Structure 1
Amino acid sequence: MARLDPGVHAETDWRIHELARDFVVEDLWSFRTPGAGPGDFPVMLAAIRAAGGMDNQPWLARFLFAFRWKLGAVLGWDKPSAGLGSRIPALRDRLPSDLPIPEPRPGDEQLPIKFIYELEREAAGEIANKTVHGVMHLGWAQRDDGDFELRMAVLVKPNGAFGRCYMAAIAPFRYLVIYPAMTRRWEQAWLDREQLLAR
């Protein structure tokens, strides 16, 4: 995994640009997918799903997520009234007609995000609570050397000063624990894709 300059996200004509104009790119990461071709994005998504959700993450990542959900429950951050369709209009409710909402796939129920759309070279999901409205965008991009890689952009719209403080407070945990754990899982899922998808 390599952290990229957030400005790189705007260099590709992703569909997410038209839906999330008022979001800021908080993070942009690339994931190694050796031997990948231009049409392998659906294979990568399938391998990630087959590798499992939070239950298969390292214990520290599981602990941090469990702590966050517990804290959110105690402080009311994740109430339905603070989420998508209540405090926040959902992006998936304003999709253009050529971007139908995808049918749920096995493994999606383990994710806190709701997928907005899924195309041949990109997909996006969203989450909202009292702290932030966030979008996870996955894209299949060609590097300068001609190889293809998975890129993940985290786009956010914090809920005022509280949301901005929250994002700053969790940044060390994202960079030191969550993203490295995600990288190991996703890059290994690519390497193990044949076995994972044969199950």
Structure 2
Amino acid sequence: MKLPPTAHTDRPWRIHEITPDFRLEDVWALPATGGPEDFPKLLEQMTSSENHLPGVAGVLFAIRWQLGRLLGWDKEDSGLDGRVRSLRERLPDDLRDRPPGPAPRSLPFQPLYLTEDEWAAETANRTMHGVMHVSWVPDGSGGHRAHMAVLVKPNGLLGKAYMAAILPFRHILVYPALMRTIERAWKARQAEPA
């Protein structure tokens, strides 16, 4: 479920210290709930190599990677520590000294930091520098719910045009497929015997 920007901006997340020059692109409630101890399980699930988008959303990602190869958007010098510096350089000492958390196996993201209730990973290419922020938000009744925010810094006119062009695809095809994938995997994990 799409959430208003305030669901992210009104919380005291550490990512705000690190990305003041990024714009908040999307905020979503993920279909995963649980106790405080379940956040690492969610991250393990979300970063596993089995977390592939099905159907049309998966095809769109495959097309994007092919297009990126063809146009040179994803060359090594276009990404982190090439075109842009990693946000790890901006981390306060207390976050830099911690393990950064899991690295996504099927997406080109590098983990930035991990706390008890938030995890951030970054990616960059010729079109933008982006951050995926996953948080574990108290629900007011003793449980927690997962949120995901996407923060972006477009690279010039190309980046702005690219982000505008993919907006409908993200909202109509990609995010709904991602939510269904997360929900199925989370329900399957909860159904496993202890």
TM (norm. structure 2) is 0.89
Indicate the residue corresponding to 2:35 in structure 1: 37
Q: Give the partner amino acid of 2:163.
A: M
Q: Deviations over 1:37-60 (max 9, x none)?
A: 233211221233457133xx2132
1:1-199 equivalence runs, <5 A: 2-34=1-33, 36-50=34-48, 52-54=50-52, 57-100=53-96, 102=99, 105=102, 108-143=104-139, 147-194=143-190
Distance 2:179 2:193 in 1: 19
Cα distance per residue 1:85-111 (max 9 Å; x no partner): 011111023322211463674x73322
Deviation at 1:188, TM superposition (A): 1.9
Q: In the aligned structure 2, how far is the partner of 1:143 from the partner of 1:32?
A: 13
CA distance in 2, matches of 1:83, 1:197: 42
| Separation of aligned partners in 1, 2:191 and 2:88 | 33
Provide Cα deviations, 1:82-135, integer angstroms capped at 9, x if missing partner: 111011111023322211463674x73322111111221110000101111100
Asked if the contact 1:141/1:149 (under 8 Å) is kept, the reply is yes
* Residues 95, 113 of structure 2: 8 Å contact kept: yes
Tell me, in whole angstroms, the C-alpha distance in 2 between the residues paired with 1:60 and 1:14. Answer: 33
Gaps of 5+ in 2: none
Partner SS, residue 32 of structure 2: coil
SS in 2 for 1:67: helix
The alignment's TM-score, normalised by the length of structure 1, stands at 0.87
Distance 1:118 1:45, change over 3 A: same
Alignment size in residue pairs:
193
Residue by residue over 1:135-170, the C-alpha shift from the partner in whole angstroms, topping out at 9 and shown as x without a partner, is: 000001123566421100000001112211110100
Q: Is the 8 A contact 2:49 2:106 kept in 1?
A: no
Distance 1:103 1:3 in 2: 27
Structure-2 change in CA distance of 1:3 and 1:104 (3 Å) = closer
Q: Distance in 2 between matches of 1:64 and 1:164?
A: 19
Distance change >3 Å, CA 181–CA 197, structure 1 → 2: farther
Change (3 A) 1:104 1:92: same
Distance 1:139 1:172, change over 3 A: same
CA distance in 1, matches of 2:100, 2:3: 31
Return 187-196 or 122-131, whichever deviates more.
187-196
Q: Please state how far the C-alpha of 1:176 moved relative to its aligned partner.
A: 1.3
Compared CA separation, residues 197 and 29, structure 1 to 2 (3 A) = farther
Three-state SS of the structure 2 residue aligned to 1:85 is coil
**Secondary structure at the residue paired with 2:37?**
coil
